[in-house]
């Protein structure tokens, strides 16, 4: 909600604090301040109004009530005088067929209007909060909506045939909107219609037929209250969310409709010299009554935890224009009609807490109570993870959303994310394939990964354990299957039950997937997390981003005279490689082979090159290597 500082000031006799200070106070006690922008001699505060405060705070009036509470300034009394009525102006005939969906409908005809440009103050006020000026009538309606929060509508009176009906749409009815778009209506949609058909989608959008144009001389103004759910359903379905529907969807008090009609009439009469207003027609069968909530100030204080006296609590509630009567030790609190959010004692505790300031809260420890048992799935999953990590397995957390599965998403974001995974394995195999390509970079001979997570087969959600192994290069006596068997044995001994699964072999490695719920079912409940080995990560651990480009591996082997010190050779190589490759050297040189032959020692080093900006070419790697060879040769060592 964009709020003009100058506009807000009209609610106060005394000067408001600076926009910055006011923004800070509101941010602390009422609404998150999302932006503050200076424009000319005004400032615009962008406040995040959440659904609980949207009943009253999507308006300057509502924000002013909060500004009064947070600054301690008094609101200027507003005159509620009715505008003079001219008996020569026709009354509007209104027929509300669904009072549940339209609790109030106020209408009035104004004759002799001039539809033209708005005066400077009105244009500037609307423009400050990002609204385009359209014409004097539409601007007046918008001004009142942003001022007190009541959406309004105006019809060209001459274009309306017969009475105004508030009714549900008929089957097959259509309406052409102001922007020319045609909308098909459902029988559940609420309409404003005349004898000829739909005029407006109630609370949502006006139709073309009775549009106010520059030649309009007589208008009918609507100030109504519509059911939030009905407006929301229609506006969502027809994709017509706007400032009007937003206010109705959040529910506003029907009492506002009368006040808005008086205000907008006065404004239009002021803008159109010689215009005459008729009497209002007000369909309001069940006027809303104020409600009173009994609260116990000691309970409010206990909940808020602020150590406030009843007197302080009363003064905070009074600052929000609540009426507070004392009865015994209790308070009978009557909030203003627009404060539909204040219904139960906890709502008042929130008002007291935020306005007094949660920063003044003391910290209190909770009492010690009996510890309840740990979740079995969590405990045993973590236990299994410990065992697997010890064996060299790394944990993945892969995507639940996959291309195909028994449970499908209704409106998927992308075709490869249109169902819930039935198994972990397919993604785990993809992960094996990716990681095996990076084995050198990772410094691994074997890629071993696992995941314990939820899967969604046809029978429903369950916990699954999946293991994956792939060998980067052959190693004597080691196969993917043997690694897998070793893992299953270790799991069995960590959990104390047999763990078995069918090993699947794929071109990218081996996987096994096990029903972990079935294993947990055999395991006991635990009273604490003891036994799970925390692997505390160093607090100063910093992640190093990796390059998305391919890397190049190069080896170098050379003979040195007998007795050459390995440490010395390594340190020389480090220096030489760094000098030659600079930042392209991302791993190594690492010594991977040493042997002695004919009184000479052979050393073999491996280096990995990669760029963060581009795919390295072989030529680039070759030129780096030439320079490394040069350095080695300069030592008199013989490159093999």
Partner 1 sequence: MKEESPKGHLHPVTSVIREICLIFDRMGFSVATGPELEDEFHNFDALNVPPDHPARDMQDTFWVKTKAGEPRKVLRTHTSSVQIRYMESIAKNPKPFKIIIPGKVFRNEATDTTHEAQFYQLEGLYVNRSVSMAELKGTLERFFKEFLGPETKVRFRSSYFGFVEPGIEVDVTWKGKWLEMLGAGLVHPEVIRAAGLDPKIWKGFAFGMGLDRLVMLRYGVDDIRHLYSGDLRLINQF
Q: Which of residues 541-600 bind partner 1 (CB under 8 A)?
A: 541-546, 590-592
Q: To the nearest whole angstrom, how small is the minimum distance from the Cβ of residue 368 to partner 1?
A: 6
Please, which residue, 53 or 314, has the CB nearer to partner 1?
53
Please, which residue, 118 or 250, has the CB nearer to partner 1?
250
CA 196 to chain centre: 44
Contacts of 170 (CB under 8 A, 6+ apart): 185, 187
Binding mask 348-387 for partner 1 (x = CB under 8 A): -xx--xx---xx-xxxxxxxxxxxxxxx-xxx--x--x--
Beta carbons of 638 and 603 less than 8 angstroms apart: no
The residues that bridge with 174 in the sheet, in sequence order, are 184
Question: Which of residues 417, 574, 587, 600 is near partner 1 by CB under 8 A?
Answer: 417
Please, which residue, 217 or 241, has the CB nearer to partner 1?
241
Please, which residue, 191 or 487, has the CB nearer to partner 1?
487
Q: To the nearest whole angstrom, how small is the minimum distance from the Cβ of residue 116 to partner 1?
A: 37
250 binds partner 1 (CB under 8 A): yes
Q: To the nearest whole angstrom, how small is the minimum distance from the Cβ of residue 444 to partner 1?
A: 5
The rounded distance, in Å, linking the Cα atoms of 511 and 504 is: 5
Binding mask 48-77 for partner 1 (x = CB under 8 A): --xxxxx-----------------------
Q: State the distance between the two ends of the chain, measured CA to CA, in whole angstroms.
A: 74
Please, which residue, 286 or 542, has the CB nearer to partner 1?
542
- Output the CA torsion 265→270→276→278 (10° steps): 10
User: Running DSSP on this structure, what letter comes out for residue 82?
Assistant: P
Please, which residue, 122 or 349, has the CB nearer to partner 1?
349
Q: Which residues 269-298 are close enough to bind partner 1 by CB under 8 A?
A: none
Question: Which of residues 30, 43, 92, 573 is near partner 1 by CB under 8 A?
Answer: 30
Stretch that binds partner 1, among 81-89, 98-106, 426-434, 595-603 (CB under 8 A): 426-434
Question: Which of residues 42, 139, 249, 262 is near partner 1 by CB under 8 A?
Answer: 249
The rounded distance, in Å, linking the Cα atoms of 274 and 363 is: 65
Q: To the nearest whole angstrom, how small is the minimum distance from the Cβ of residue 91 to partner 1?
A: 35
Contacts of 25 (CB under 8 A, 6+ apart): 17, 67, 70, 71
The rounded distance, in Å, linking the Cα atoms of 110 and 275 is: 7
Q: To the nearest whole angstrom, how small is the minimum distance from the Cβ of residue 334 to partner 1?
A: 19
Please, which residue, 268 or 470, has the CB nearer to partner 1?
470
Question: Which of residues 388, 511, 616, 628 is near partner 1 by CB under 8 A?
Answer: 388
Question: Which of residues 81, 413, 502, 598 is near partner 1 by CB under 8 A?
Answer: 413
DSSP letters along 180-211, please?
A: S-EEEPPTT-EEEEETTEEEEETTTEEBSTT-
Q: Which residues 474-513 are close enough to bind partner 1 by CB under 8 A?
A: none
Q: To the nearest whole angstrom, how small is the minimum distance from the Cβ of residue 525 to partner 1?
A: 11
Contacts of 186 (CB under 8 A, 6+ apart): 169, 234, 237
Q: To the nearest whole angstrom, how small is the minimum distance from the Cβ of residue 477 to partner 1?
A: 15
Q: To the nearest whole angstrom, how small is the minimum distance from the Cβ of residue 463 to partner 1?
A: 9
Contacts of 114 (CB under 8 A, 6+ apart): 136, 271, 272, 273, 275
Q: To the nearest whole angstrom, how small is the minimum distance from the Cβ of residue 452 to partner 1?
A: 9
The rounded distance, in Å, linking the Cα atoms of 431 and 468 is: 9
Q: To the nearest whole angstrom, how small is the minimum distance from the Cβ of residue 228 to partner 1?
A: 8
11 binds partner 1 (CB under 8 A): no
The rounded distance, in Å, linking the Cα atoms of 337 and 323 is: 11
Q: Which residues 179-238 are close enough to bind partner 1 by CB under 8 A?
A: 228-229, 232-233
Q: Which residues 513-542 are close enough to bind partner 1 by CB under 8 A?
A: 528-529, 532, 534-537, 539, 541-542
Q: To the nearest whole angstrom, how small is the minimum distance from the Cβ of residue 363 to partner 1?
A: 4
The residues that bridge with 511 in the sheet, in sequence order, are 468, 504
Residue with tokens 């010689």: 274
Length of the chain: 640
The rounded distance, in Å, linking the Cα atoms of 47 and 9 is: 16
Beta carbons of 618 and 580 less than 8 angstroms apart: no
Q: Which residues 294-333 are close enough to bind partner 1 by CB under 8 A?
A: 302-306
User: Running DSSP on this structure, what letter comes out for residue 161?
Assistant: -
The token pair that represents 43 in the structure block: 């400032």
Please, which residue, 176 or 229, has the CB nearer to partner 1?
229
Beta carbons of 510 and 468 less than 8 angstroms apart: yes
Q: To the nearest whole angstrom, how small is the minimum distance from the Cβ of residue 14 to partner 1?
A: 24
Q: To the nearest whole angstrom, how small is the minimum distance from the Cβ of residue 339 to partner 1?
A: 14
The rounded distance, in Å, linking the Cα atoms of 472 and 486 is: 18
Please, which residue, 213 or 307, has the CB nearer to partner 1?
307
**Closest alpha carbon to 446 in 454, 458, 438:** 438
Please, which residue, 592 or 595, has the CB nearer to partner 1?
592
The rounded distance, in Å, linking the Cα atoms of 425 and 429 is: 6
Query: Total residues at the site for partner 1 (CB under 8 A)?
Result: 112
The rounded distance, in Å, linking the Cα atoms of 176 and 199 is: 9
For the sheet containing 164-168, what is the strand order? Answer: 94-96, 164-168, 190-194, 197-201, 205-206
Please, which residue, 71 or 435, has the CB nearer to partner 1?
435
The rounded distance, in Å, linking the Cα atoms of 222 and 94 is: 10
The rounded distance, in Å, linking the Cα atoms of 296 and 294 is: 7
Stretch that binds partner 1, among 83-91, 174-182, 329-337, 404-412 (CB under 8 A): 404-412
The rounded distance, in Å, linking the Cα atoms of 452 and 523 is: 16
Residue with tokens 């259509």: 174
Q: How are beta strands 446-455 and 394-395 bridged, if at all?
A: parallel
Please, which residue, 154 or 419, has the CB nearer to partner 1?
419
Beta carbons of 220 and 92 less than 8 angstroms apart: yes
Binding mask 145-174 for partner 1 (x = CB under 8 A): ------------------------------
Q: To the nearest whole angstrom, how small is the minimum distance from the Cβ of residue 393 to partner 1?
A: 4
Please, which residue, 412 or 496, has the CB nearer to partner 1?
412
Please, which residue, 121 or 378, has the CB nearer to partner 1?
378
Please, which residue, 408 or 575, has the CB nearer to partner 1?
408
Beta carbons of 576 and 632 less than 8 angstroms apart: yes
Stretch that binds partner 1, among 158-166, 202-210, 312-320, 392-400 (CB under 8 A): 392-400
Binding mask 438-477 for partner 1 (x = CB under 8 A): x--xxxxxxxxx---xx-x---xx----------------
Q: CA 608 → CA 441, 569, 583, distances in Å?
A: 7, 18, 11
Please, which residue, 50 or 163, has the CB nearer to partner 1?
50
């Amino acid at each position: 909600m964009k709020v003009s500082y100058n506009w807000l000031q009209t609610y106060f006799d005394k000067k408001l604090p600076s926009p910055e200070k006011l923004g800070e106070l509101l941010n602390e006690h009422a609404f998150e301040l999302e932006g503050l922008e200076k424009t000319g001699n005004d400032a615009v505060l962008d406040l995040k109004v959440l659904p609980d405060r949207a009943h009253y705070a999507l308006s300057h009036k509502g924000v002013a009530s909060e500004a009064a509470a947070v600054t301690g300034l008094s609101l200027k009394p507003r005159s509620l005088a009715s505008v003079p009525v001219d008996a020569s102006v026709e009354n509007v005939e209104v027929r509300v067929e669904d009072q549940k969906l339209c609790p109030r409908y106020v209408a009035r005809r104004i004759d002799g209007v001039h539809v033209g440009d708005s005066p400077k103050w009105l244009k500037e006020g609307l423009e400050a909060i990002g609204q385009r000026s359209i014409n004097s009538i539409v601007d007046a309606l918008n001004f009142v909506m942003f001022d007190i929060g009541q959406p309004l509508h105006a019809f060209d009176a001459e274009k309306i045939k017969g009475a105004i009906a508030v009714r549900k749409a008929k089957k097959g009815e259509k309406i052409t909107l102001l922007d020319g778009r045609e909308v098909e209506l459902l029988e559940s949609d609420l309409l404003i219609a005349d004898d000829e058909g739909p005029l407006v989608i109630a609370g949502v959008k006006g139709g073309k037929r009775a549009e106010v144009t520059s030649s309009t001389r007589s208008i009918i103004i609507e100030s109504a209250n519509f059911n939030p759910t009905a407006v929301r359903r229609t506006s969502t379905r027809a994709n017509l969310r706007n400032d009007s529907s937003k206010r109705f969807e959040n529910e506003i008090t029907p009492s506002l409709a009368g006040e808005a009609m008086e205000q907008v009439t006065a404004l239009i009469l002021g803008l159109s010299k010689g215009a005459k207003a008729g009497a209002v027609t007000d369909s309001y069968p069940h006027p809303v009554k104020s409600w009173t909530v009994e609260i116990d100030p000691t309970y409010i204080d206990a909940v808020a935890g602020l150590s406030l006296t009843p007197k302080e609590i009363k003064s905070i509630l009074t600052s929000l224009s609540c009426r507070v009567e004392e009865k015994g030790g209790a308070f009978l609190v009557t909030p203003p009609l627009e404060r539909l959010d204040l219904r139960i004692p906890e709502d008042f505790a929130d008002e007291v807490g935020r306005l007094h300031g949660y920063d003044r809260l003391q910290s209190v420890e909770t009492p010690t109570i009996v510890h309840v048992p740990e979740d079995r799935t969590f405990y045993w999953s973590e236990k299994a993870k410990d065992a697997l990590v010890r064996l060299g397995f790394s944990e993945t957390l892969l995507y639940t959303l996959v291309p195909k599965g028994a449970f499908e998403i209704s409106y998927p974001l992308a075709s490869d994310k249109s169902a819930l995974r039935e198994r972990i394995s397919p993604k785990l195999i993809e992960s094996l394939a990716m990681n095996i390509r990076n084995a050198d970079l990772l410094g691994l001979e074997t890629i071993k990964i696992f995941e314990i997570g939820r899967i969604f087969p046809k029978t429903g959600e369950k916990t699954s354990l999946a293991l994956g192994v792939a060998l980067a290069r052959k190693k004597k006596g080691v196969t993917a299957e043997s690694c897998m068997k070793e893992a299953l044995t270790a799991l069995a001994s960590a959990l104390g039950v047999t763990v078995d699964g069918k090993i699947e072999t794929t071109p990218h490695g081996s996987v096994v997937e096990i029903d972990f719920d079935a294993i947990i079912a055999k395991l006991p409940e635990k009273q604490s997390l003891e036994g799970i080995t925390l692997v505390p990560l160093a607090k100063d651990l910093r992640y190093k981003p990796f390059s998305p480009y391919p890397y190049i591996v190069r080896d170098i082997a050379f003979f040195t005279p007998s007795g050459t010190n390995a440490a010395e050779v390594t340190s020389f190589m480090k220096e030489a490689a760094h000098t030659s490759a600079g930042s392209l050297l991302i791993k190594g040189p690492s010594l991977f082979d040493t042997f002695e032959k004919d009184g000479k020692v052979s050393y073999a080093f491996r280096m990995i090159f990669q760029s963060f900006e581009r795919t390295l070419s072989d030529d680039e790697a070759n030129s780096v290597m030439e320079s490394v060879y040069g350095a080695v040769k300069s030592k008199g060592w013989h490159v093999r």
